[in-house]
Structure 1
């Protein structure tokens, strides 16, 4: 396996267009008020038209940035299709607006569309009882819980334009053709359910969304909508599936960060990183029972700051859920409502 190497040596400027190869362009969109510095959008020539892959969030001046990019670089091109890798706001957030404004079709997995549609309708001015229960069961600190309960929660619709139109469904192993080039659709799970990735062996390109990032592992968060989800197990299975078709020469076009090569090695790293975290959890629980939050340092090998706290909580639940589902731990309820995890005799 070849080592991981970035195609571009310098970090990109947001709002600027970069050419990957003939007819394929990379466009880093800023992410106001969200975690990473930018989300990657891609523009592919499609005959006389163009197709988009992911859209950025409906936040800040992202609409204006899209208008400028399209006007300056593709002034006479029609947007035919908008492909969305998964339902998270930074990827689907402007799909509805772009479809309405430019008359494009949105193409994504059924799960991505239904999740986005459902979450857009789930609006709360204060934290819902199910969310509060989920946080308590994860072992959220009293100080953080008090702060969260006294603040308006971020609603999915805050960063997503309305999805007024229907969608065209993407399915596993489907072949889509853009500009005469065939792309195979392969679905991943763990970061988001039925996350679409697109593989072109002709161009040696993989539009990976958040299924494969170079510098970090995608967040494998569990949320109150499916509190017992095994995101870590789903992620490992997906990485193993992709490893069967990954090649050293593939250029990965990720959802965040710079394009890179060395896909097989990166997939092996992602699998090993989470298996190592699971092993560390079991070693830690061998000495005493703990909540998901109390396992932060064990999982992430460092202290978690306030800005990272919520993502860490959701991913920590993903790890203990995997051990619980596979019979490696059992859980009991502490007096404050938190789940505490202990090793079973299956280890």
Structure 2
């Protein structure tokens, strides 16, 4: 049985609103532990918001959880996916092949999906070089030697529908509004049920952790800027209950959005301080910062987390450039940052 912190991961189908059931599916060997799939009753069938990772264990859990509320996998006729990451998307593709369900995804995910399907999803190597993280890139290359490249594309196919812009989706008992919220990924979408005051938030707003920013094959130019804009967009809606992909249901989207904005403002300040204290490259700045809620040293993180940390540092540095706090230049293929040199009259 999970401890209190992870009680939300326990197997089951939990009714969080009339006709809406939260179903946590396992993520083995992943620190997130589980992903919430939301089963929305739609007449005599179901619409699932997100789908889980296409693993046998997760599929068996989904099947048994649906059975507990009187439904079968074959009654899922549509998947509304929040974004392309495998723990949200790939089960939908597997079940589409078996039962014919339709799959919808935000159109902003198209460039990343094209890279995945064409076998060009290892853009992190080029990004790490730009960030001055050659040692991390070398570790990643070594890891790739033992990696079956077909694994990168397994479970991925084109969706049936690309959601382009804000889109109202009429179900039999409710209308869900798909709202683009780029940041975590380019094409991240949330689903708003205004009448029931519910936000199916995917990874955009999480109750206890901050989502990674811009970890995808086709990274945007300013992922953190996109993310902060998307948070402010959610703040402009009436407050709703938060139905996240990872973690328990929370009572207020607004409260968590305010915390996330404050967190990133604090992080921007710490990142600026790292440059003011001598960091020049993204990698150097990342090594000066603490990571996770326990403020772990960069060097103590695993390879995957060091890649995420370096990318997030780059995202914060680029926002500082846009805000006029830093300036950047490219030297031998590496982006370097420095405090903006103010004219003497401005000092």
Instruction: Give unpaired runs (5+ residues) of structure 1.
Output: 1-7
1:278 has 2:268 as partner:
yes
Question: Aligned partners of 1:156 and 1:27: how far apart in 2?
Answer: 29
Change (3 A) 1:268 1:13: closer
Alignment deviations for residues 172-216 of structure 1 (CA, whole Å, 9 cap, x no partner): 332212232122221101101131111112212110101100111
Change (3 A) 1:224 1:106: closer
Decide whether the 8 Å contact of 1:332 with 1:341 is kept in 2.
yes
Question: Shift in Å at residue 218 of structure 1?
Answer: 0.8
Question: Shift in Å at residue 158 of structure 1?
Answer: 3.5
The normalised TM-score by structure 1 is: 0.84
Match of 1:259 among 249, 253, 258: 249
Decide whether the 8 Å contact of 1:277 with 1:299 is kept in 2.
no
The normalised TM-score by structure 2 is: 0.84
Q: SS where residue 270 of structure 1 aligns?
A: helix
1:180 has 2:173 as partner:
yes
Q: What corresponds to 2:196 in structure 1?
A: 203
Question: Aligned partners of 1:172 and 1:225: how far apart in 2?
Answer: 19
Question: Shift in Å at residue 279 of structure 1?
Answer: 2.0
Decide whether the 8 Å contact of 1:89 with 1:156 is kept in 2.
no
Task: Name the structure with the higher helix share.
Answer: 2
Question: Aligned partners of 1:299 and 1:306: how far apart in 2?
Answer: 10
Decide whether the 8 Å contact of 2:79 with 2:102 is kept in 1.
yes
Q: What corresponds to 1:298 in structure 2?
A: 289
Q: SS where residue 185 of structure 1 aligns?
A: strand
Question: Aligned partners of 1:265 and 1:231: how far apart in 2?
Answer: 22
Question: Shift in Å at residue 319 of structure 1?
Answer: 1.2
* 1:1-347 alignment, distance < 5 Å: 11-59=7-55, 61-73=57-69, 74-75=71-72, 78-113=75-110, 115-122=112-119, 131-140=124-133, 142=135, 144-152=136-144, 157-158=151-152, 160-163=154-157, 166-221=159-214, 225-226=218-219, 229-247=221-239, 250-296=240-286, 297-298=288-289, 300=291, 301-304=295-298, 305-307=300-302, 308-333=305-330, 338-345=334-341
Alignment deviations for residues 133-154 of structure 1 (CA, whole Å, 9 cap, x no partner): 3212223263x44332222258
Question: Shift in Å at residue 31 of structure 1?
Answer: 1.0
**RMSD of aligned Cα (Å):** 2.8
- The aligned length equals 330
